Structure 1
Amino acid sequence: MLFEGVLRKMTTEYRSPIQYFLILEDDVLNLNQALNRKLKIEFIKYQCLGTGKNEPIYRQGFCRSYFFESAQAGEWIMKPELSKAHLDIEDRDLEYEKRVQLQPHIVYLANSSNVKVGVTRKTQVPTRWIDQGAHEALEIVEVPNRYLAGITEVALKEHVSDKTSWQKMLKNDVEDVDLAEWRSKLKAYIPDEAAEYFIDSKTETNLEFPVLQYPEKVKSLNLEKTRSFEGVLKGIKGQYLIFEDQTVFNVRGHEGYYVGLDIN
């Protein structure tokens, strides 16, 4: 194999189109330069992102024991409304939780396959939108902690989706919508505690992905079932690699997998 290393989500640069980088051990690969080239991926072993051990990955790149013990995998990460650091209440590690939760967060609208509401740390804009494969996105509120962002998302998802159809996103089965109009409609449903943080001065962020050919159907590659795969890379969108034979590979979904990689 030309390159080896443990998979982590691709890092990105907000350009036109988005630039994608895969970091493997001492190598940084610009995957945009691999478009129209043959890419071979081979699963070698597991490597938990928390412990470094060769143990089956449970979720988020972590083995089962680390997932249920580490502050990096607390329930508040997926459910921001459960955040308690602003109350000085510990979940697993109060110092870590304060560092992550007690910073500015954005509640936003993004359009990947449909309009959805989401939450991210301010420092993750526009990275979060790129990771979701959104072609347009817009901020709704900017709040000082994760809890306020979480309760705002919970309130708004009664009126707009909080899910993305990854299949539609990858097939580029999307339509442009007026996100500013959606923001105006949703303003009335923002909880009182977060109402003062509403922002209407921001304009849409538009994103262009490096895709030469979108699949008509999607075939998802699972390295546990198919330990070696080779195909011509035709695009990158969200955290997915898109191949000529309509196979798609979720890099983030394989965090913690140690792989070999060849590019020809």
Structure 2
Amino acid sequence: MQYEGVLTKMQTEAGSPIQYYLVFENSFLNVNQLLGKDLEINFMGFQCLNCGKKKKIYRQGFCYDCFYSSAAAGDWIMRPELSTAHLGIADRDLEYETRVQVQPHIVYLAASSDMKVGVTRKTQVPTRWIDQGASWATPLVEVPNRYLAGITEVALKDHFSDKINWKKMLLNEVNEIDLIARRNEVRSLLPAEVAPYFESTQEKLYTLDYPVLQYPQKLGSSLNLSKTPIFNGKLMGVKGQYLLFEDGTVFNVRSYEGFVVQINV
């Protein structure tokens, strides 16, 4: 069968295992059903996720112009401590920024390789952890806006990483960490204005189960569609936003948002 469309990050459905979907304008694939099968991925062109024009993708699925003009690509996306909508101050579009920033956010601890700290909107639990390939995760505090989550993350980054070792994550080399114990230890490191939210945040450990037939013994190349516009391989698993192939090749779907592809199964 043949599918064609613009790549966006895979949609997911929590379960055991997690269900993954590649969604195009007129069709979709349940990626779990492709495990153990040969896939061909053909790069066809570009389409900006914001303006829809067939312009080269610059970052995050946006063309150059949209990346520097769209409210969905503001600096506060990657650096939540820069959020200002709760003060009524706009970055690029106050209406959009208020809608996204002024809602419950979770600061969390997760284990994808080693322990990391991160921020997500409450509505993105557990999607955010799935996208990062976390094996376990636990909410630390739930706060009413993105700014408070951001300053908490900044305070904790002095003690814990906010990065993922993606190679260890894909090899399933995840350190056994008692996240609940670490959660209680972290309590004393919270900023004063955030500390009261610790007691009201439910203590809960999430365990995530990925659809993987076999993890690679070692990683091969990371598929670059610009350099390898036609790729064939047997799909052996999905973790985070990566497709894992039998020969050790990995493909980060999210890195190629805005790329138009044809997939043959």
TM-score scaled by structure 2?
Answer: 0.98
Report the Cα distance in structure 1 between the residues aligned to 2:127 and 2:198, rounded to whole angstroms.
21
Per the alignment, residue 20 of structure 2 pairs with 20
Match of 2:243 among 238, 241, 251: 241
* CA distance in 2 between partners of 1:114 and 1:61 (Å): 28
Give the equivalent residue in structure 1 for 2:213: 212
Is 2:253 the counterpart of 1:251?
yes
Q: Which amino acid aligns with 1:197?
A: Y
Alpha-carbon separation, structure 2, partners of 1:106 and 1:221:
32
Distance in 2 between the 1:80 and 1:56 partners?
A: 27
Q: Secondary structure at the match of 2:55?
A: coil
Give 1:62-77 correspondences, 5 Å limit.
62-77=62-77
Q: Which residue of 2 is the match for residue 135 of structure 1?
A: 135
| Unaligned segments of structure 2, at least 5 residues | none
Matches within 5 A, 1:91-240: 91-199=91-199, 201-218=202-219, 219-240=221-242
1:142 maps to a residue whose letter is E
TM-score normalized by the length of structure 1? 0.98
Partner of 2:34 in structure 1? 34
Partner SS state of residue 194, structure 1: coil
Q: CA deviation at 1:216?
A: 2.3
Query: Does the Cα contact within 8 Å between 2:117 and 2:162 map onto a contact in 1?
Result: yes
Q: How many residues align?
A: 263
Task: For 2:216, give the aligned amino acid.
Answer: P
1:21-76 Cα offsets, whole Å, 9 max, x none, are 01022112100000000011000000000111111111110001100000000000
Moved over 3 A (4+): none
Residue pair 2:139, 2:202 contacting (<8 A) in 1 also: no
Flag structure 1 segments of 5+ consecutive residues without an equivalent.
Answer: none
State the 1:217 CA deviation: 2.2
1:39-78 to 2 correspondence within 5 Å? 39-78=39-78
Deviations 1:79-109 (A, max 9, x none): 0000000110000000000000000000000
State the AA in 2 paired with 1:205. Y
The SS at the match of 1:77 is helix
C-alpha offsets along residues 166-213 of structure 1, whole Å, 9 cap, x if unaligned?
Answer: 111000011221001111111111001111111463221000000111
Is 125-134 or 173-182 further displaced after alignment? 173-182
